[in-house]
Structure 1
């Protein structure tokens, strides 16, 4: 490991960045250095700009992926190398604003009815009924389910934050059936490797299999189940601030994506009267 890579790793550890973020940033910086076949210490804004153009035009990366690469370089140069560079030296592509595709209540019901595996149904229903990210679902432990308070504890979710989310009676019923069948001890949803939780990839595969069985034509991912949770809460009259807390969103702007379709529909209806 080069001294610069070690320094950047230590800087990320000091700031308590998530392990996945640390790994991703190191990969991004390594790709940047390999492309120019020189140490990042001797590269500058011109090379950063050329790298962004290469990622966009040659590798055809989406704006979100390019932003991730720029974020890694911004950390390297501003934090680890202490370069006093402005935002203009790290140009970011604008991300298109897209509304999530939302499953209806009937589609959600049909989706879960198509899952023959009790474990897979419990996992995906937890993602929907608690509005969890797939990374949060796979990290749940048996002790995180508090049936007395009807709450689920999410330990160190995105942004290294703990939070509590609601545990619905229907989800509790499914989790109890699953526990009686599988008797998990530590991880709520253990994987094929002893002592390890189920992988996010395995949950994604289970989700796609359920979509195919259900005959739903809309794209369905564990994250779209989370989107459906937020939208269905809004449609039943839940307060937006409460939805923000349950979803673990840092910014209200993120939560706002879920009520834009409703606002647009109301506007269309008012004009048609």
Structure 2
């Protein structure tokens, strides 16, 4: 068990690194939506700083160890029948975990305290692979209160959870990307999977777009629960969050802890 986990984690880190480098490079060689180099540098700096505060500090020091204990070592978890193993069980588990992610994402737009932290992700005025890094560590701590009980209830094996985390990272990086994929191909694949254009709609400034297309891996959850809007940008579409402009990196990290309502946040670049 320990050897299997070590193998998955070590190889998973390599897979995630290769996936990010490849996607980051391709979207700069074949961009779908153009934006100014000056604007790109500012938002790239913001996204890197936010990524450091979450993925390189709070995640490995606190969040990951807590997840390991609760999912692998916690004694009170759902027992699974011995026959429920193999490839089919793995696929079903991945779908259940993706449904859990969909539910949490939907909740982040409905529960005020979660929205305060999740809104930071939506303040990005351009969408590319680095937007996937733009996640507040405070949101991740709050999400654990929903996610861990859900995983324990499902009783998913720890190795599957680790594999799902690797898949989620790669998918999240991809569906935020700005690669110029033929729109017809995207529309076809988005019938089942979350494609960049499909997720890009979720980052629209207008509430009619922001509160739709919540899926991570599979787009079918949005279709089943009627939270799907459109699969590609309509005319006049803009990314961002309603009337807000973006904030400095420090503001992005500390603003959610204040008392000012999200609707009254004002940018001070």
Bigger Rg over Cα: 1
The structure with more helix, counted as a fraction of residues:
2
Superposition TM-score, scaled by structure 1 size: 0.27
TM-score using structure 2 length: 0.28
Q: Is the strand fraction higher in 1 or 2?
A: 1
Higher RCO by CA contacts (8 Å cutoff, separation 6 or greater) = 2
